[in-house]
Amino acid sequence: MTTDPDAKFTALVHRQSRFVFRVAYAVLLNSHDAEDAVQETFLKLYRNRGWERAENERAYLARVAWREAIDLRPRRSQLPVAGPEPLEADEAPSLQPGPEQALLSASEDSMIHAMIDALPEELRVPLALSAFEELHSPEIGTILGIPEGTVRTRLQRARQILRQKLTSLQESRYA
């Protein structure tokens, strides 16, 4: 393993940039703003070298990215908002068996992403960290600075809301 600090940092960026993007996107709901937050996050990390002393690299990075996205959000909230921006194709790879199935799958995926994006931030962020980044409740609690029990409650509530929305959508389709 290399001891060059710049090489270590470059490896960190390559290893964790997608994860940091997902955390920022969960807060900002816009890929361009999330990219800005990722750049600011890694710039801060490069300057202060705090990542070298972190016990849990992913938790530390998620916390820094989350704070950076929160800090970026008020400046962006003054601009007109047209709603959450869908992820681009290269940001969410999928396996597509055929054109018809791909269209149906894309429609369902975008609908589910829209439902997740419509959740309040206090429910959306823990759900995104759990579902997309596969973090556990203690890690999410550390990142968000809330008790583990609160994380579990928010995850349960977010899943309950999504389940209700999906059930009502299915019922309306087949009614």
CATH code of the domain covering residue 116: 1.10.10.10
In terms of domains, do 76 and 106 share one?
no
Amino acid in the structure at residue 141: G
d(CA 108, CA 136): 26
Supply the pTM of this predicted model: 0.59
Give the model's pLDDT for residue 161: 94
The string of pLDDT tens digits covering residues 135-162 is 899 999 998 899 999 999 999 999 999 9
pLDDT at residue 77, as a whole number: 47
pLDDT of residue 110: 74
Mean pLDDT by 10 residues, the chain (175 residues): 77 91 88 92 88 82 88 61 53 51 61 84 90 88 92 95 87 71
Residue 46 DSSP class: H
Which of 46, 80, 114 corresponds to the end of one domain?
80
pLDDT at 63: 87
Same domain for 109 and 161: yes
In a domain, 86, yes or no: no
Give the three-class secondary structure for 48: helix
The first and second tokens of residue 167, run together, are: 């059930």
Q: Kindly report the CATH number assigned to the domain that includes residue 37.
A: 1.10.1740
Domain ranges, residue 108: 97-175
pLDDT of residue 6: 84
pLDDT reported for residue 166: 85
pLDDT of residue 157: 96
Q: What angle do CA 49, 56, 154 make, to 5 degrees?
A: 120
> What is the three-class DSSP state of 40?
helix
Residues 1 and 75 in one domain: yes
